Chain A
């Protein structure tokens, strides 16, 4: 049975290395037209998004098409889900049409893991609740390597709503496998102590300057108001204490890069000056997303 890609936690470092290495082949050379690949010719991929997404859904679509696969995108609204069909029934129905892989985003943590126990079709997790977002961590790793050459011994500060962030979890699991020193920073109510125990060499702080000092990479997270059951902080003071501003950049290493998984909220967690600065690699992340997802889809469908 083919394996999908459910999370970073269960991947080994060599498996991650292989995906990163293959994705290099899919990065377009500057000012050259895109090469077409045919490795997934005749394969059908269903893109199933139970939660709103623009960049991830589009990125998977482009990745599939550049590999020659046939792709169908379904969003939860306007599907049988809105008629009360259960998740298992929805997936069984789609499974009966024999797609070769399902790319899935869902608001419930573990939804793809639960389904993968019952469905023979490999599932690629495009983000599950507050659990993981594996392709995001992979494209982040690729982007860091492109700019800084290595992951080894870097200091990476992840700042924002750590508790509810699937991007943070996937990055923690990935970066710690590569010897990165990870610093997690956010309001105390969004920074559970246990996050520091997820992997070795993780530091927790509620002081943004401390987090940024000597950092090689700053990853800003979006404030996810939709995942808060109750406000864990006062929104009107968030930017003052956890918003990334130009004066912070001085504290970090000279070759610092600033990342954000998007969509960004200018003026809430990041100032426009920083988001649009030379330090920002936000658009490189988006571009690398396609290459990473090509490597992931190819791995899932041809292994």
Chain B
């Protein structure tokens, strides 16, 4: 029996509307008590004075690249980057090689995670075989093997009939269907957001309409099927409005936003620098503001990073040849603090909820809470410390980020998974 006491932190847990300075007692891998002045006799202790103690953060959208692309990231290195960013659970998208479209792949990922990951890893299964958008994958048996959602992330399901069938499965199995919303015909050949910047740079554009038409179609299919439908990385103002519309209709529709979509817009891109190239692309100021307001008003349920590692040689090419995506696990909390908390958009409890309680609800995970008896996954961070992100010290295998050398105010200090301190800030 091992005991850990987190002393004197400001414990903020939106799941029980808790916000006070006290101690958190942990026994083995569960929360034992939340009280004042817990005895530390015979216990390991962590002094959290001046720090925020929150339910462990959950990133419901990451790419871990294993199996198949271990030169870009592995389950181990991705989990280490997650821990360094304050995340205690991560959900990995199925676009590996092979694609996670059958239970053997799901089991492989879960087994690899058990051996090598330092945070919890929840696989997301493919909607269609090989994410080709044609035939449904083995959704029910992947659910038995441990997937928490289905998605063909990066390869939207273009065929509405196929998506309808998948939603019927998702509804029956009570798992969410996560869609990367992009009409591939409208976005064909696109490299960045279609607007003044793409015109100026002579780069082919990805119109926001390519996202909007998919969100609209999918909301109608969600209404038809009753499925829990989740929009990945919403980037366009119209999409935010349509999700709000779906919620007003009482549909089980949720969405996430990435930190880069509420932190950067297309005019802030360094021209032709592939560290600013991702899908959906950085959009315009009005979209960024709509996303921020969507977070403020609860239209956007969760913050997810879309952590997408690519090795340097793939990102060191002509802009049009570079793959889409940036890493994001270690900068997410810092960007959330900078753009949402320190700029007085939302309070700290709401920020924590976006990172923990809400993704746990969307995915029906028994996490995202510090209730007594819950898994002892805890994120400890501070609100004020000035620090500079140095991607060259990242545990991730990849370096593709626009936030290298970005100066942050506040960030992760320690990460506890199942009662073990798996990461702490070097003094």
Q: Is B202 interfacial (CB-CB < 8 Å)?
A: yes
Given A129-B202, A169-B202, verify A111-B318 contact (CB < 8 Å): yes
Q: How far is the CA of A128 from the CA of B313 in the complex (A)?
A: 22
Contact A198–B318 (Cβ < 8 Å): no
Contact B271–A132 (Cβ < 8 Å): no
Query: Please, which residue of chain B has its CB at the minimum distance from the CB of A50?
Result: B318
Q: Is A195 interfacial (CB-CB < 8 Å)?
A: yes
Q: Is A9 interfacial (CB-CB < 8 Å)?
A: yes
Which residues on A sit within 8 Å (CB–CB) of B313? Answer: 86
At the interface with chain B, which of A102-110, A240-248, A259-267? Answer: A102-110
At the interface with chain A, which of B22-30, B193-201, B224-232? Answer: B193-201
Q: How far is the CA of A87 from the CA of B318 in the complex (A)?
A: 7
Contact B318–A229 (Cβ < 8 Å): no
Contact B199–A192 (Cβ < 8 Å): yes
Q: How far is the CA of A95 from the CA of B291 in the complex (A)?
A: 45
Q: How far is the CA of A64 from the CA of B241 in the complex (A)?
A: 58
Identify which of B199, B316, B318 gathers the most chain A CB atoms within 10 Å of its CB: B318
Q: How far is the CA of A130 from the CA of B205 in the complex (A)?
A: 12
User: What 0/1 readout, one digit per residue, does chain A (119-135) give for beta carbons within 8 Å of chain B?
Assistant: 00000000011111000
Q: Is B172 interfacial (CB-CB < 8 Å)?
A: no
Contact B317–A166 (Cβ < 8 Å): no
Query: Please, which residue of chain B has its CB at the minimum distance from the CB of A199?
Result: B200
Q: How far is the CA of A87 from the CA of B203 in the complex (A)?
A: 18
Which residues on A sit within 8 Å (CB–CB) of B188? Answer: 229-230
Within 8 A of B (CB), among A177-201: 192, 194-195, 197-198
Interface range on chain A (Cβ under 8 Å from partner): 20 to 34
Given A109-B320, A110-B271, A114-B272, verify A198-B199 contact (CB < 8 Å): yes
Q: Is B339 interfacial (CB-CB < 8 Å)?
A: no
Q: Is B319 interfacial (CB-CB < 8 Å)?
A: yes
Contact of B204 among A9, A111, A194, A229 (CB under 8 A): A229
Q: How far is the CB of A161 from chain B (nearest CB, A)?
A: 13
Q: How far is the CA of A110 from the CA of B188 in the complex (A)?
A: 19
Contact A109–B202 (Cβ < 8 Å): yes
Q: How far is the CB of B191 from chain A (nearest CB, A)?
A: 8
Contact of B317 among A87, A113, A129 (CB under 8 A): A87
User: What 0/1 readout, one digit per residue, does chain B (187-229) give for beta carbons within 8 Å of chain A?
Assistant: 0110000011011111110000000000000000000000000
Q: How far is the CA of A9 from the CA of B321 in the complex (A)?
A: 24
Which residues on A sit within 8 Å (CB–CB) of B195? Answer: 194
Q: How far is the CA of A111 from the CA of B271 in the complex (A)?
A: 10
Contact B200–A109 (Cβ < 8 Å): no
Which residues on A sit within 8 Å (CB–CB) of B198? Answer: 194
Contact of A109 among B189, B196, B317, B319 (CB under 8 A): B319
Query: Please, which residue of chain A has its CB at the minimum distance from the CB of B189?
Result: A229
Contact A108–B316 (Cβ < 8 Å): no
Query: Please, which residue of chain B has its CB at the minimum distance from the CB of A110?
Result: B272
Query: Please, which residue of chain A has its CB at the minimum distance from the CB of B320?
Result: A108
Q: Is A88 interfacial (CB-CB < 8 Å)?
A: yes
User: What 0/1 readout, one digit per residue, does chain B (159-192) give for beta carbons within 8 Å of chain A?
Assistant: 0000000000000000000000000000011000
Contact A131–B320 (Cβ < 8 Å): no
Q: How far is the CB of A93 from chain B (nearest CB, A)?
A: 15
Within 8 A of B (CB), among A123-151: 128-132
Contact B200–A108 (Cβ < 8 Å): no
Contact A108–B199 (Cβ < 8 Å): no
Which residues on B sit within 8 Å (CB–CB) of A198? Answer: 196, 199-200
Given A86-B313, A109-B272, verify A114-B202 contact (CB < 8 Å): no
Query: Please, which residue of chain B has its CB at the minimum distance from the CB of A166?
Result: B202
Q: How far is the CB of A133 from chain B (nearest CB, A)?
A: 10
Identify which of A131, A132, A230 gathers the most chain B CB atoms within 10 Å of its CB: A131
A-B contact pairs, 22 of them (CB 8 A): A86-B313, A86-B317, A88-B316, A109-B201, A110-B201, A110-B272, A111-B272, A111-B319, A114-B272, A114-B319, A128-B202, A131-B203, A132-B202, A166-B202, A169-B200, A169-B202, A192-B199, A194-B196, A194-B198, A197-B199, A229-B189, A230-B188
Q: Across chains A and B, which 7 residue pairs bring their CB atoms closest together, nearest first?
A: A131-B202, A110-B272, A108-B318, A194-B199, A109-B202, A130-B202, A194-B196
**Using a CB–CB distance below 8 Å, which chain B residues touch chain A?**
188-189, 195-196, 198-204, 271-273, 313, 316-321
**Using a CB–CB distance below 8 Å, which chain A residues touch chain B?**
9, 86-88, 106, 108-111, 113-114, 128-132, 166, 169, 192, 194-195, 197-198, 229-230
Q: Known pairs A110-B201, A195-B199; list 12 more (Cβ under 8 Å).
A: A87-B317, A87-B318, A109-B201, A110-B271, A111-B272, A111-B318, A114-B273, A129-B202, A130-B202, A132-B202, A194-B198, A229-B189
